[in-house]
Amino acid sequence: MNKKKVALLGGLAAAILLIGGAGWYFFGRDKSGKDENVVYVSSVEKLMSLGSGSGLSNRFSGVVEAQDTWSVQQNSEKTVKDVLVEVGQEVRVGEPLFNYDTDKYRTDLEQSQLDLERLNNEYSSMNETITQLQKDLKAAAADAKNDIRLQIQEAQLQYKQKEYEMKSKQVEIDKLNKNISEATVYSEIDGVVKSINNGTNPDMNSTDTSFMTILATGDFRIKGKINEMNMASLTEGAAVIVHSRTDSTKTWKGTVSKIDRENASSSNNTMGYSGMGGSDNSTNSSSYPFYVTLESSQDLMLGQHVYVEQDYGQEESVKKVGVWLQSYFINDLDSEPYVWADNGSGKLEKRKVTLGQQDEAMDMYEIADGLKKEDSITFPEEGLTEGMTTEVSSEGMMGQSNPPVNKDETMGEGEPMGEGDSMGEGEPMGESEPMTDEPADGAGTSDIQTGDAAVSGEGA
C-alpha cells in the first residue's frame, strides 16, 4: 500500500467518525425537543468535495514566515544611540541598522592615550636608570657591588612591570578604537525588519531577547500549530495543501518538514456537551508548532495567515467528471451495491446504484447510474430503515437523531462523542465563531476549532 493511500485511509477514518458519530451527537433532537428518528442527509455534490474545503477535513491555522531569521544581539557593554530602520522596512546586506553611542569611548580613548604616553616616559626613564646602574657597578668598589646589583634587579622588575602595563594599555586603546569604528551595525542579510526591542514597543508575550530580528527574504515556509488531541492526523513528511484565507482559488503544495514536540504551549479549552443532563467540562491541552516546506512560495506574503490540510489527493478528486463517492458510502460493493438516499419526499430509501470506474488511490467509485449530484444520501450506519424521516443538513452533518447508544463509547451523560469535535452548547463546528490563536484576515472561513484543527463546514 503506497504512502498516499495510507494517509488517505487515515483521513477517511476521521471523516467517518465525524459524519456518523458527530451527526448523532450534534443533532440529537430537533429544535422542538421531540425525540424523532430523523436521519440527516447531505447532498452528493458536497460529499464529493470532502477535504477540498467544502467537505470534512482537519485544517490547521498557519502563518507565512521566512525560512531564515537573523537575531541581532545588542552588545551589553554598549548603549544604542540611533535606530536607523523601522519595523516592516526592507533592508539589504550592508545597510546600516543602528548606531551605538561612542561619546564615552572617545573620552576614554583620550585618557588612555595620555596614560600610554606617561607609561612610555616612565619606561624610558627606567631604561636609563638601569643603564646608569650597570655603569656604576663596573666602577664601584668590591664592597659596594652587591648593593648596586640589588638596585639593578629591582629596576629590571619595575621595567618589566611597566612594559606589561604599556601592552595592556595598548590593548585597551585598540578596543576603544574598534568600538568607535564599529559603532554602526550593518545588516548581514537581505530581509525585512520583524521587530525592534528598544523599549518603545515591547511585546509582553515575546520570548525573543534579541535587540532586532530580521526575516530573510526569498523562500518562505509555513508555521502551523497542531493540538495534542489531533496529533495523529499529521506526520512529518506528509504532503499538505496550503489554502489562502481570502481567496479560495489559491493553494500551494508542501511537505511537513518538522513537528516540534519540544516546544509545547498549553491552553485551557472548555468543551460543552449537549445531551441529557449535559454539563460543561474544561480540559487542558498542549499545542505544538509544525513547519511546512513549500514547493513554491509564489504570491505568498510574509506574515500572511493561511490554512493547512493534509493532501489526500482531494484536489484531483474534485476535478472528476460525473458522480464519484468514497467507498464507505456504498453498501454491498461486491454484490448489489446501494446507498441510503432521500427519496425526494423526505423519506429514506435503499437506492440501487450501478458502479463504473474505480479510483483505488482515492478509494472512490464512479456511480454510473442511480444517483445524481443533487441527490442527498447519508452514511450507512446501523439502525437505518426505509421510510425514516430525512432532513437535509445545511451543516453537512449526517446520521440518525437517536441511534442506539453503546455505553462503552460514550462520554458524560450517555451521549456519544467524537474526538473533541464540538465547542460550546452543542454547536456544530464550521458554523460557529472561529476560535484560534491566529487572527483571521479578511473573509477567511470560520472553521478553526480550539485545539488548532478545523473541520471545514459548508462553504469553507
Residues 152 and 190 in one domain: no
Q: Would you give the end-to-end CA distance of the chain in angstroms?
A: 31
Q: Is residue 460 part of a domain?
A: no
Report residue 242 as a C-alpha cell. 496550503
In this predicted model, which residue has the larger pLDDT, 228 or 444? 228
Q: Name the range with the highest mean pLDDT among 10-19, 89-98, 187-196, 435-444.
A: 89-98
Residues 272 and 411 in one domain: yes
Helix axes 142-181, 103-139, angle to 10 degrees: 160
What secondary structure does DSSP assign to 285-330, as a single string?
A: EEEEEEEEEES--TT--TT-EEEEEE-SSHHHHHT-SS-EEEGGG-
In terms of phi and psi (left: phi > 0; alpha: psi -120 to 50; beta: otherwise), the region of 426 is left
User: In the prediction, which pLDDT does 165 show?
Assistant: 94
As a whole number, mean pLDDT of residues 430-441 equals 35
Confidence of residue 385 (pLDDT cuts 50, 70, 90): very high
Alpha-carbon distance of 210 to 74, in angstroms, equals: 7
For residue 286, give every residue at least 6 positions away whose Cβ sits within 8 Å of its Cβ, in sequence order, or none. Answer: 227, 228, 264, 265, 266, 267
Residues 355 and 304 in one domain: yes
Q: What are 297-328's pLDDT values in tens digits?
A: 888 888 899 999 888 776 665 566 789 888 88
Residues 63 and 74 in one domain: no
Q: Over pLDDT 90: what percentage of the chain?
A: 39
87: domain CATH number? 2.40.50.100
pLDDT of 331 higher than 90: yes
As a whole number, mean pLDDT of residues 257-264 equals 88
pLDDT of 390 higher than 90: yes
The domain in which residue 428 lies consists of 3-67+218-455
Residues 140 and 285 in one domain: no
- Tell the residue number behind the cell numbers 515556509, with chain if given: 221
28 contacts 402 by C-beta, under 8 angstroms: yes
Q: Is residue 235 part of a domain?
A: yes
Report residue 349 as a C-alpha cell. 430509501
Q: Name the range with the highest mean pLDDT among 141-145, 308-312, 354-358, 426-430.
A: 354-358
Q: Is residue 119 part of a domain?
A: yes
Alpha-carbon distance of 182 to 178, in angstroms, equals: 6
pTM of model > 0.75: no
Q: Of 386, 343, 392, 331, nearest to 45 (Cα)?
A: 392
Residues 123 and 191 in one domain: no
Alpha-carbon distance of 384 to 116, in angstroms, equals: 99
Q: Is residue 208 part of a domain?
A: yes
pLDDT of 455 higher than 80: no
Q: What are 180-207's pLDDT values in tens digits?
A: 988 999 999 888 898 898 765 445 555 5
Q: Of 89, 123, 101, 66, nearest to 185 (Cα)?
A: 101
Q: How many domains does the chain have?
A: 3
Report residue 89 as a C-alpha cell. 522596512
176 contacts 110 by C-beta, under 8 angstroms: no
To the nearest 10°, the Cα dihedral for 357, 359, 365, 366? -50
